[in-house]
């Protein structure tokens, strides 16, 4: 990856794959967390439509809007100086027609300063991906479990079990590479399938719930920090327990206010 202070590019990601360097990706939805991730050396900050479930409290990502994604991506971009910023294109902003996809993705790039967009789907979005790449919009793909198709897939389920299902995922990923994506997210699939995809592609794969052999890994920040306690999944490792720490801090604050111990002299102004 580039030296500190130099912005990560899609070419850096391709070089990382060739060199065998793992790529680190986390989600963010605001400037404060984005700055913390950027300063910690994350390679890609993904503004996921997961904001709709994590922050907006909805059951799925399906009701996320383009305006919502633009709003959060502008905040994230304000906090990032080095990492590559990617915006998720929400449901129905790229599936209706290629022209509408170009208009929406172009608007998202123009208004946010993001360096690329992410689309879900394989063969079904190949022509759309090619059209976006042809007008200069970098595209990240996403295959396996695709949250915008949660109802069609019967819920949040591992995809690619069985040889034919695995073959379909490989075919989807290859179709995206042929269309010009610079990387592909592999979500919720058996490790051997993700390994097959990773070996078959010359572009980086970014895993989430897909085992250790991907070229990089992504998690939702609030899951990784132990803040999103409503969501429990086998693939999520919590590297902190901030949910419990927040509750403890708020309880202490409330107790000190009620007992008249805050603010004290050290936190008050003299004349």
DSSP state, 232?
-
Separation between Cα atoms, residue 229 and residue 35, nearest integer Å: 23
Which is catalytic among the residues 99, 100, 120, 187? Answer: 187
Q: Dump the DSSP string for 98-116.
A: HHHHHHHHHHHHHHH--SE
Query: Residue 142: beta bridge partners?
Result: 121, 185
187 is catalytic: yes
Secondary structure of residue 226 in the 3-state scheme? coil
Tell whether omega for the bond before 263 is within 30 degrees of 0, i.e. cis: yes
Separation between Cα atoms, residue 265 and residue 270, nearest integer Å: 9
The catalytic residue positions are 187
């Amino acid at each position: 990856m580039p030296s500190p202070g130099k912005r990560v590019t899609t070419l850096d990601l391709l070089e990382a794959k060739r060199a065998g360097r793992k790529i680190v990706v986390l989600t963010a939805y605001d400037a404060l967390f984005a700055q913390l991730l950027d300063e910690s050396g994350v390679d890609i900050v993904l503004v996921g439509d997961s904001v709709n479930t994590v922050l907006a409290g909805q059951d799925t990502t399906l009701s996320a809007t383009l305006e919502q994604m633009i709003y959060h991506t502008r905040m994230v971009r304000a906090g990032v100086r080095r990492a590559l910023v990617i915006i998720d294109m929400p449901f129905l902003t790229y599936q209706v027609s290629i022209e509408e996809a170009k208009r929406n993705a172009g608007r998202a790039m123009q208004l946010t300063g993001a360096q690329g967009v992410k689309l879900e789907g394989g063969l079904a979005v190949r022509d759309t991906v090619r059209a976006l790449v042809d007008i200069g919009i970098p595209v990240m793909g996403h295959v396996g479990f695709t949250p915008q198709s949660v109802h069609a897939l019967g819920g949040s389920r591992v995809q690619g079990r069985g040889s034919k299902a695995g073959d379909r995922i490989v075919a989807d990923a290859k179709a995206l590479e042929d269309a010009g994506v610079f990387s592909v997210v592999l979500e919720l699939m058996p490790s051997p399938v993700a390994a097959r995809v990773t070996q078959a592609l010359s572009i980086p794969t970014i895993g989430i719930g897909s085992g250790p052999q991907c070229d990089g890994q992504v998690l939702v920040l609030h899951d990784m920090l132990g803040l999103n306690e409503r969501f429990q999944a086998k693939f999520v490792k919590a590297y902190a327990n901030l949910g419990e720490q927040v509750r403890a801090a708020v309880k202490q604050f409330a107790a000190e206010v009620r007992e008249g111990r805050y603010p004290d002299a050290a936190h008050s102004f003299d004349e």
